[in-house]
Amino acid sequence: MHTVYKTPAVTATTRPIRDLDADFLVIPVFENDDLNGERELDRASGGEYSAALLRGAFAGKLYEQLFTPISGDRWKPRSALWVGLGPRTELTAEQLRRVATIGGLAARQRRFGRIALLARWSPAVPVSRAVQALAEGAVLANYEGTSYKTSDDSIAWLDRVEIRAARDADAKAAERGRVLAECTNVARALSNEPGNVLTPREFADRAAKLARAADLKVEILDEKKIAALKMGMLMGVARGSSEPPRLVVLRYEPKKAAHKAVLGLVGKGITFDTGGISIKPSENMDKMKDDMSGGAAVLCAMMAVARLRAPVRCIGIIPTTENMPGGRAMKPGDILTSAEGKTVEVLNTDAEGRLILGDAMWYARSLGVTHLVDVATLTGACVVALGKTTSGLFGRPATWVEQVRRASERAGDRSWPMPLFDDYKDLLKSDIADFTNTGGRAGGAISAAVFLKEFAGDLPWVHMDIAGTAWAEEPRPYQPKGATGVGVRTLAELALDADSWANLR
Ligand code: BES
Ligand code: MN
Ligand code: ZN
């Protein structure tokens, strides 16, 4: 496999635009933008910006693009992309993030390696948020999904990104954006890996290496330790495969944690989901290599949390296994006993995610976490309910769900709350065990969450179903086709923002 992402150097500056150390300028412009103090930009473009405005060829509409040369004495940049931001008062950080990705991809296409992005003032987005979003977007553009092509078309990368703000060079915000985007790219690379490469053992090995490099404490539990802990649900899923399961445990323990809280992050790590004996149809089954995206999100969020020194202790748990229909596989009707002691009647072996997560959530609780979030490509039903741009949120109390929703909004990972009324528990009634692992088609995303709730104890807990959002079927101007890295920035933003939730319950 060749390199799939590179992390450029990212700096923030207030230097005059003409002195920016870049070949390529990305100039975000609002509708009806007279460029305030920056009118020299239009002159440097040879008047092409104002001419395009007059001709009606460019109006600053959201994501609209205009290329111009840049010339003139003492101007270092040679060329510019003007990108529309829409109305100044309606700007969002996510729009800036996307504009920066559009700019970064355009620069790479033209083989410019050093770019500068201008942070334009808007009353709707504070400067530090704007600088962070631009840094994130530019670094997210430095990702390439075609990792196994042997043709030698050499890929052009960005190696330097400068964010230019008129007044305030917020180096911390730029660094936060760089780290969050780099960690998102790592998660994308892992999710794009095929199932024969990224087996549970390989996933655990890579997690250990990446986590150690970020100064996290790492423990990998093998099949023997998993058996000793009596994780019957994780072992039940793993039975059908000749690849042994693993449980990855990551710890972030800052010396001076500002809070007593311990954030527990649990991610589904199915490295390939055939469905098991309840086997899936062959059409699109190849996509099930991304069924470890929740696990990748937890790993990469933990890396970001450590590198950005979040003010709260965090524990990340990733149960990882294949779901295969081997000769020793669990069968519909089998009864599994979870590590917590609760019994489950397996009606459908394809509802495997909730099984491995249940044991992992119990383990997180046994390690003393006070707040729980799990992330999983859990149900096709969630894709039906919310589509492919919005993740489903389930949990309690509503205040904790709202914290996670707001973190996802800041991160640019859109999510929305779904109901979890007690009556839904009836969907999982079993004749012979405590409950079943499937609730039928109606409300399928909700019954999956109801199952997980059984393993959340009485902790504040949120389940994020990313089945629809983990994989982009079509490329967008701001997103490559394939794994999206959804969840990484949400979980990291949540931990970074612990001051606003850690003392509540
Ligand atoms: N990994 C799948 C969910 C999934 C489906 C993710 C489509 C992405 C796209 C999960 O393990 C699964 O198979 N869920 C079943 C549950 C059912 C058997 C109750 C589903 O959604 O069909
Ligand atoms: Mn499945
Ligand atoms: Zn699955």
C-alpha 345 – ligand 3 centre gap (Å): 18
Would you state the structure tokens that stand for residue 422, as one six-digit string?
């007690």
Greatest Cα pair distance, the chain, in angstroms, is: 82
Give the ligand whose atoms come closest to the C-alpha of residue 466: 1
Give the pLDDT confidence score for residue 448 in this predicted structure. Answer: 98
Is the confidence at residue 153, as pLDDT, over 90? no
Closest residue to atom 6 of ligand 1, CA basis? 467
Q: What is the pLDDT of residue 471?
A: 97
Express each pLDDT in 238-272 by its tens digit.
999 999 999 999 999 999 888 899 999 999 999 99
CA of 219 to the centre of ligand 2 (A): 26
Q: What is the mean pLDDT of the chain?
A: 96
DSSP β-bridge partners for residue 11 = 162
**Does 309 participate in catalysis according to the annotation?**
no
Position 69 scores a pLDDT of 96
CB contact at 8 A, 376 and 294: yes
Which one from 6, 88, 280, 481 is the annotated catalytic residue?
280
Q: Tell me how far CA of residue 214 lies from CA of 30, 147, 172, 218, 252, in angstroms.
A: 39, 24, 18, 11, 10
* pLDDT over threshold 60, residue 81: yes
Query: Given the CA of residue 438, which atom of ligand 1 is nearest to it?
Result: 19
- Ion ligand 3: residue ranges with CB closer than 5 A: 270, 273, 291, 353
Backbone torsions φ then ψ of 453, nearest 5 degrees: -55, -30
Contact (CB, 8 A) for 346 and 235: no
Please provide the DSSP assignment of 230-260 as one string. T-HHHHHHHTT-SSPPEEEEEEE--TT-S-S
Chain centroid, CA 501 distance in Å: 21
Name the band, by pLDDT with cuts 50, 70 and 90, for residue 29.
very high
Quote the CA–CA distance of 300 and 489 in Å, as a whole number. 9
Q: Distance (Å, rounded) from C-alpha 389 to C-alpha 376?
A: 15
Ligand nearest to the CA of 438: 1
pLDDT of 463 > 80? The answer is yes
Residues 6+ apart with CB under 8 A from 382: 391, 392, 418, 444, 445, 448, 465, 467, 468
Q: Which residue, by CA, sits nearest to atom 16 of ligand 1?
A: 351
Q: Look at residue 146 and tell me whether its pLDDT is greater than 90.
A: no
Checking if the pLDDT of 505 tops 60, the result is: no
> What was the pLDDT predicted at 152?
62
Q: What is the mean pLDDT of residues 421-427?
A: 94
β-pairing, 246-252 with 313-323? antiparallel
Pocket test residue of 284, 379, 386 for ligand 1, highest count of atoms within 8 A of CB:
379
Q: What pLDDT, on the 0 to 100 scale, is given for residue 167? A: 87
List, in order, residues 6 or more apart from 183 with CB less than 8 Å away. Answer: 300, 301, 303, 304, 307, 485, 488, 489, 492
Please tell me whether the overall predicted TM-score, pTM, comes out greater than 0.85 for this model.
yes
Q: Give distance in angstroms: CA of 491 to centre of ligand 2.
A: 24
Omega within 30 of 0 (cis) for the link into 245: no
In this structure, of 13-22, 149-158, 262-271, 468-477, the range with the lowest mean pLDDT score is: 149-158
Nearest to 99 by CA among 90, 91, 110, 109: 91
Mean pLDDT of 410-435: 96
Ligand 1 atom with the shortest distance to the CA of 380? 21
* Residues around ligand 2, an ion, CB closer than 5 A: 273, 350, 352
3 state SS for 98-116:
HHHHHHHHHHHHCCCCEEE
Q: Which atom of ligand 1 is nearest to the CA of 377?
A: 6
Contacts of 55 (CB under 8 A, 6+ apart): none
Tell me the backbone φ, ψ of residue 106, rounded to 5 degrees: -65, -40
DSSP secondary structure letter of residue 318: E
413 close to 486: Cβ distance less than 8 angstroms: yes
- What's the gap in Å between 270 CA and the centre of ligand 3? 6
The b-or-e profile of 228-245 (16+ CB within 10 A means b, else e) is ebebbbbbbbbbbbebbb
| Known catalytic residue at 354 | yes
Q: What are the distances in angstroms from CA 234 to CA 102, 160, 338? A: 42, 44, 8
User: What is the rounded distance in angstroms from the CA atom of residue 377 to the CA atom of residue 382?
Assistant: 9
- Which residue's alpha carbon is at the smallest distance from atom 5 of ligand 1? 380
**pLDDT, mean of residues 479-492:** 95
Mean pLDDT value of segment 301-327: 98
Tokens 């991610």 belong to 267
Half-sphere exposure of 1 (CA within 13 A, CB side): 14
